[in-house]
């Protein structure tokens, strides 16, 4: 593609003379700008991809793929049978949701209460983490709480706590909120800060009593082999029975995932501007280089080298700067993305800063997922920008006339 003469001229252009030190500075800034732009883009895209993937895993570890809530009557067994016939790889679980206030000797706190069976909790713990206690001890009169809630209220396995529900019971003295005592059977960690701080599991029988509900109020939770089929199942259930309320895990988190998608796209556009700005340095550097090399270009033309060959040599000069900078940015970005959690911990300890607060970003560590497609797209996009930045200054050469350039030499 490039002749030996074109490559030699290009390499000579990359080594400016001492009196052309300004060109060297421009080349260095071009290199650093493109390298940092590519590296930053890869790091940000990796973090955004990782954040979305980790968030999806956490959400799926805490929420069913499809939830069916009764509207006016109990969910029929016939509905389950029809769903099972249509979707073979499927699991059903029963649950009851409510709200309450946890009361200890020192503190009180509002929380979400979920009544579940032992198989449900066993499956939940298998997807998350058991901090303390045993799943088999989860029975009537016991409660399972998140690690953050246990830390805030200074609770451990075996402690007794009182739960006051929003359900009202009638007494001779009027309506009073229902309150019952439970023993902490196990403490879990989902890695989802808000859930670990505000979620508690009760046995189904205890939930009936505390929340003043019955079996007709039970929700049907459905788990699929492939979670992305949840929306299809939702439509199928709505056709079977219009008297139930159906929603999926994507419905519960639609605004969150939409915001993440928009933020990722916006960040890509903004950070791409860094590469474009750096590419302008290549344009200015090559333009100055061509002006300074007017005499040499005229001599080359006089010796019979075509305009096209000279243009290609100067184009190659800019392209080499952009290619090496892009490659360096790619390597730096991949290494940084791979060790981003270790780097975060180091910077946090050195500068005493909480760089990734759990209560703000929900997750307990900084995520990163290196997507080969995204990395390849960034690499190609950077090379395209660099190519355009190198091409336009080279066009000046075709307008140069050897006779004019050498007239005063």
Give bridge partners of residue 288 from the DSSP assignment.
Answer: none
pLDDT score of 64: 84
Question: For 159-198, how does the pLDDT look when each residue is reduced to its tens digit (9 = 90+)?
Answer: 888 888 877 776 666 667 788 889 999 999 887 777 888 8
pLDDT score of 357: 63
pLDDT score of 22: 54
pLDDT score of 340: 85
Nearest-angstrom CA–CA distance, 89 and 95: 20
pLDDT tens string, the chain, 409 residues long: the values are 667 766 776 777 666 665 555 556 767 777 888 888 888 888 888 888 887 777 777 777 778 888 888 877 677 778 888 888 887 778 888 888 888 888 877 778 888 888 888 888 888 888 778 888 888 888 888 999 988 888 888 888 988 888 888 777 766 666 677 888 899 999 998 877 778 888 899 988 888 888 888 778 888 888 888 877 888 888 888 888 877 888 888 887 777 777 777 777 777 787 777 778 777 777 777 777 777 666 776 777 776 777 777 778 777 888 888 888 889 999 999 999 888 888 888 877 887 777 666 655 656 677 888 888 888 888 988 888 888 888 877 777 656 665 555 554 5
Give bridge partners of residue 165 from the DSSP assignment.
Answer: 100
CB atoms near residue 365 (< 10 Å): 15
Pairing of strands 174-189, 142-146: parallel
Q: What is the DSSP letter of 144?
A: E
Q: How far apart are the first and last CA of the chain?
A: 34
Nearest-angstrom CA–CA distance, 274 and 281: 11
Q: Longest Cα pair distance anywhere in the chain, in angstroms? A: 114
pLDDT score of 144: 92
Nearest-angstrom CA–CA distance, 43 and 367: 11
């Amino acid at each position: 593609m490039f002749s030996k003469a074109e490559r030699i001229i290009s390499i000579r252009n990359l080594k400016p003379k001492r009196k052309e030190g300004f060109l060297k500075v421009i080349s260095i800034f071009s290199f650093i700008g493109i390298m940092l732009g590519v590296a930053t883009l890869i790091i940000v895209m990796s973090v955004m991809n990782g954040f979305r993937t980790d968030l999806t895993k956490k959400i799926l570890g805490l929420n069913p793929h499809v939830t069916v809530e009764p509207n006016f009557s109990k969910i029929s067994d016939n509905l389950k049978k029809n769903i099972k016939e249509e979707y073979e790889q499927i699991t059903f679980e029963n649950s009851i949701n409510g709200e309450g206030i946890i009361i200890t000797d020192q503190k009180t706190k509002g929380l979400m209460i979920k009544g579940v069976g032992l198989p449900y909790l066993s499956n939940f713990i298998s997807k998350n983490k058991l901090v303390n206690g045993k799943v088999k001890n989860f029975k009537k009169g016991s409660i399972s709480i998140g690690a953050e809630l246990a830390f805030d209220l200074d609770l451990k396995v075996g402690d007794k706590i009182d739960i006051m529900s929003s359900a009202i019971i009638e007494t001779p003295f009027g309506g009073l909120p229902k309150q019952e005592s439970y023993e902490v059977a196990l403490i879990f960690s989902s890695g989802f800060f808000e859930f670990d701080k505000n979620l508690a599991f009760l046995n189904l029988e205890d939930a009936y009593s505390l929340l003043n509900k019955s079996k007709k109020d039970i929700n049907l939770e459905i788990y699929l082999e492939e979670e992305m089929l949840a929306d299809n199942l939702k439509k199928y259930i709505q056709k079977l029975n219009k008297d139930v309320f159906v929603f999926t895990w994507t419905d519960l988190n639609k605004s969150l995932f939409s915001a993440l998608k928009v933020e990722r796209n916006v960040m890509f556009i903004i950070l791409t501007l860094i590469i474009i700005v750096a590419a302008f340095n290549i344009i200015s550097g090559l333009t100055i280089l061509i002006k300074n090399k007017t005499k040499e270009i005229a001599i080359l033309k006089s010796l019979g080298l075509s305009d096209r060959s000279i243009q290609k040599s100067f184009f190659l000069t800019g392209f080499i700067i952009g290619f090496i900078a892009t490659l360096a940015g790619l390597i730096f970005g991949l290494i940084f993305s791979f060790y981003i959690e270790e780097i975060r911990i180091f910077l946090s300890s050195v500068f005493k800063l909480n760089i990734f607060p759990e209560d703000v970003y929900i997750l307990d560590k900084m995520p990163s997922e290196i997507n080969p497609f995204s990395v390849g797209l960034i690499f190609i996009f950077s090379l395209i920008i660099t190519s355009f930045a190198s091409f336009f200054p080279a066009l000046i050469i075709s307008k140069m006339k050897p006779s004019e350039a050498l007239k005063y030499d």
